[in-house]
């Protein structure tokens, strides 16, 4: 190994004990340190922390830009490409012109990471908008999607560029420009013609909508009624718009998990499903505490059931009330209320699985109760919907209290 590589590795290993001094020496080496640092990123067995190496390359700046692009294009594994990409997307806005030039790199990996670097610049990346337009018809799907997401971070100044593509073409970029407009500004950013076309498409799909089970990620409410107007009034939801199940659930999930001012702005009220109406998303803004909401709603509708399920972690919770009284509240993080429901009695609750010895778990394979299981037993599980589900009417997306203040959420959603 050349001496310079050994010297750089020694300096990198010194970071753990003398970070400031070692980092300053590495940055001072400038271009001379770039190749050895990239070698560390490309060596999965290296004792050097790859994040430290990447951070130093970011600080070195322009001398590291082109070599990192080449490393991304030729990296031997997905992991080493990811490491090089992490370093590459973190340069300052002073290298914006370099990112713009890299949008035309022969490697799709480099084009995608260059667009991500621009995305991370936010509104300061706005000068890149004309060049980003060329990626809307890139032959690589991941590059096209990254360009869409990048436009969403450039701010309102990017919208005229996208509207121009929608109006004037080229035609091969129009579909991606529509998605980018939705990501950047939401439904309100679309032209009247595009808004009307989307509303027509929704109406068409509602005439013969296939009902399919989908595992939720977030909260939902179940009420034993088909009176959608009463549900909207009870939850203080307004401005309902027809929506397919697919669109409504995606919008509600996005509103639940989104950060910023447009968080928690819409809820989806389903059609009547086997006698029940489900409400997805942030439905309980009228109340300070969700159990109070469930209690009050059960007094009005006879029953009310609130659920939470995290599709990523499997976290679950449920609150069940009848005629103004909570009969069961289960959460892994709050005090439990009420006796076990019949459906819970032959299963483990999520917080009980940690008490089962490993050998017993292997031998018996006990069943675990979660929100989806409880919902299927007591009302309707969103994951169990299908062709046999009795469907009456259609769903609507409606504004919550936050939605009336901040407007519809942004984002390109499936219809």
Residue 110: which of 158, 148, 150, 75 has the closest Cα?
75
pLDDT for position 260: 55
| 90, 114 Cβ separation under 8 angstroms | no
Residue with tokens 């076990």: 340
Residue ranges of alpha helices (H) inside 43-77 are 50-60, 62-74
| 147, 181 Cβ separation under 8 angstroms | no
CA distance readout (Å), 1 to 9, 35, 43:
11, 12, 13
CA distance readout (Å), 177 to 96, 128, 144, 159:
22, 15, 10, 10
Q: β-strands 266-273, 276-280: how paired?
A: antiparallel
Residue ranges of alpha helices (H) inside 75-186 are 78-88, 96-102, 108-120, 129-133, 141-154, 159-168, 174-185
**Dist CA 414 CA 342 (whole Å):** 37
**Dist CA 210 CA 246 (whole Å):** 10
pTM of the predicted model, to two decimals?
0.78
6 pLDDT above the threshold of 90: no
3 pLDDT above the threshold of 50: no
| 164, 134 Cβ separation under 8 angstroms | no
pLDDT in tens, 299-344: 999 999 999 998 888 889 999 999 999 999 999 888 999 999 999 9
1 pLDDT above the threshold of 60: no
Backbone angles phi, psi at 103, to 5 degrees: -65, -15
pLDDT for position 295: 97
Can you tell me the mean pLDDT for 48-72? 94
Confidence of residue 364 (pLDDT cuts 50, 70, 90): confident
What domains, with CATH codes, occur in the chain? 3-189 (1.25.10.10), 218-406 (no CATH)
Confidence of residue 44 (pLDDT cuts 50, 70, 90): very high
pLDDT for position 326: 97
Confidence of residue 190 (pLDDT cuts 50, 70, 90): confident
pLDDT for position 411: 74
């Amino acid at each position: 190994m050349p001496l310079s590589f050994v010297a750089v590795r020694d300096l990198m290993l010194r970071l753990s004990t003398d970070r400031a001094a070692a980092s300053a020496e590495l940055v001072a080496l400038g271009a001379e340190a770039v190749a050895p640092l990239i070698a560390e990123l490309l060596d999965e067995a290296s004792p050097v922390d790859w994040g430290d190496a990447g951070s130093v390359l970011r600080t070195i700046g322009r001398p590291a830009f082109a070599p990192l692009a080449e490393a991304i294009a030729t990296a031997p594994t997905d992991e080493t490409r990811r490491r090089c990409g992490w370093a590459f997307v973190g340069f300052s806005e002073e290298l914006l012109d370099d990112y713009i030039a890299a949008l035309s790199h022969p490697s799709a990996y480099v084009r995608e990471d260059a667009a991500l670097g621009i995305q991370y610049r936010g509104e300061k990346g706005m000068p890149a908008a004309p060049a980003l337009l060329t990626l809307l018809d890139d032959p690589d799907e991941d590059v096209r999607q990254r360009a869409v997401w990048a436009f969403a971070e450039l701010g309102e100044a990017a919208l005229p560029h996208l509207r121009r593509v929608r109006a004037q073409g080229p035609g091969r970029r129009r579909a991606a420009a529509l998605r980018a407009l939705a990501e950047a500004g939401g439904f309100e950013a679309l032209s009247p013609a595009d808004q009307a076309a989307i509303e027509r498409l929704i109406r068409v799909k509602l005439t013969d909508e296939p009902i399919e089970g989908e595992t939720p990620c977030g909260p939902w409410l179940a009420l034993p009624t088909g009176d959608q107007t009463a549900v909207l009034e009870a939850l203080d939801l307004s401005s309902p718009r027809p929506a397919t199940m697919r669109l409504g659930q995606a919008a509600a999930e996005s509103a639940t998990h989104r950060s910023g001012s447009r968080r928690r702005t819409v809820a989806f009220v389903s059609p009547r499903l086997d006698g029940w109406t489900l409400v997805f998303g942030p439905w309980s803004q009228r109340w300070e505490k969700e159990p109070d909401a469930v209690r009050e709603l059960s007094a009005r509708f006879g029953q009310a059931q609130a659920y939470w399920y995290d599709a990523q972690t499997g976290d679950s919770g449920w609150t069940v009330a009848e005629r103004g009284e909570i009969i069961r509240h289960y959460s892994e993080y709050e005090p439990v209320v009420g006796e076990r429901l019949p459906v819970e009695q032959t299963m483990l609750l999520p917080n009980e699985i940690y008490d089962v010895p490993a050998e017993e778990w292997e031998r018996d394979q006990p069943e675990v109760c979660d929100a989806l299981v409880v919902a299927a037993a007591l009302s309707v599980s969103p994951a169990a919907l299908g062709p046999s589900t009795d469907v009456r009417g259609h769903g609507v997306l409606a504004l919550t209290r936050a939605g009336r203040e901040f407007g519809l959420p942004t984002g390109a959603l499936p219809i």
